[in-house]
């Protein structure tokens, strides 16, 4: 049975699942944000509060774009109609799920609304990056968004400072792979499926029957 075959009969709809995944991305971003090794590379202690906040937001943006683009790919490439619908529902509500979290924390609407524009802009940037380098990603089982978002996220966190980006990239690449696996596990679990991930976390294969297989 497809892990998405009964989405309309589950306890949670796409919007609720998206909100849960957005919360997971925020928590994983906060965990990374607090790591001494991460802070040491970027010179966190020398930053003012505004710059520290920007760094945290960039981690969240990287995570949201990674999951959004992964779901978008699933929607486009999957031959199973209910799977495409499930990917679409969760993807379309992902940014909104995070915005609701910000609003609940007291962030004004004029600021939360900017997140929709920011995620749309970054996703378009990363789509262009993929088109420019897609010959590198010949293995169709590979989730190339892990690599593209890691590179882009590192670049934005470091404000395009080349040497700093190179130092940070291995950490962000590992984090993106970890985040990707955790988010897909969460989605599968909430749809009533069991997902066992073994092997390289950056590998994904979406089967013809709509099931999700990680390799």
Mean of pLDDT values over 136-158? 91
Of 171, 172, 196, the residue nearest 184 (C-alpha) = 196
b/e 146-155 (16+ beta carbons within 10 angstroms → b): bbbbbbbbbb
pLDDT for 202: 35
Note whether 94 and 187 are within 8 A (CB): no
What letter would DSSP give residue 110? H
210 in the Ramachandran plot: left (φ > 0), alpha (ψ -120 to 50) or beta? Answer: left
Answer for the pair 142, 203: CB distance below 8 angstroms, yes or no: yes
pLDDT tens profile 21-73: 999 999 999 999 999 999 999 999 999 999 999 999 999 999 999 999 999 99
pTM recorded for the entire structure: 0.85
For the segment 78-129, what is each residue's pLDDT rounded down to a tens digit? Answer: 777 777 888 899 999 999 999 999 999 999 998 999 999 999 999 999 999 9
Q: Which two tokens stand for residue 80?
A: 């199973």
Q: Please state the separation of Cα 64 from the chain's center in Å.
A: 4
What average pLDDT does the segment 139-149 reach? 87
Instruction: Compute the CA torsion angle 144, 159, 29, 133 (nearest 10 deg).
Output: 0
Q: Is 207 exposed, middle or buried (0-12, 13-18, 19+ CB in 10 A)?
A: middle
Distance, CA of 67 to CA of 65 (rounded, Å) = 6
Contacts made by residues 117-120, CB under 8 angstroms, sequence distance 24+: 118/61, 119/61, 119/64, 119/65, 119/68, 119/95
pLDDT in tens, 189-206: 776 543 333 333 334 454
Each domain of the chain, given as residue ranges in start order, spans 7-214
Do 176 and 153 contact (CB within 8 A), yes or no? yes
The answer to whether the Cα torsion of 57, 60, 64, 66 is positive or negative is positive
Residue 177 has pLDDT above 70, yes or no: yes
Nearest to 77 by CA among 144, 13, 11: 144
């Amino acid at each position: 049975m497809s892990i998405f075959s009964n989405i309309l009969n589950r306890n949670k709809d796409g919007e609720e699942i998206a909100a849960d995944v957005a919360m997971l991305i925020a928590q994983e971003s906060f965990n990374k944000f607090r790591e001494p090794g991460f802070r040491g590379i970027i010179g966190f202690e020398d930053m003012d509060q505004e710059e520290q906040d920007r760094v945290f937001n960039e981690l969240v943006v990287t995570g949201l774009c990674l999951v959004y683009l992964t779901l978008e790919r699933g929607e486009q490439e999957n031959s199973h109609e209910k799977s495409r619908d499930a990917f679409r529902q969760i993807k379309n509500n992902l940014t909104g799920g995070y915005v609701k979290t910000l609003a609940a924390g007291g962030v004004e609407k004029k600021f939360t609304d900017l997140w929709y524009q920011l995620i749309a802009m970054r996703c378009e940037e990363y789509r262009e990056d993929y088109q420019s380098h897609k010959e590198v990603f010949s293995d169709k089982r590979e989730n190339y968004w892990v690599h593209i978002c890691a590179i882009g996220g590192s670049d934005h966190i470091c404000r395009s400072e080349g040497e700093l980006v190179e130092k940070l990239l291995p950490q962000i690449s590992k984090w993106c792979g970890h985040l990707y696996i955790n988010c897909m596990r969460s989605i599968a679990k909430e749809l009533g499926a069991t997902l066992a991930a073994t092997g390289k976390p950056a590998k994904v294969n979406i089967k013809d029957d709509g099931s999700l297989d990680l390799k």
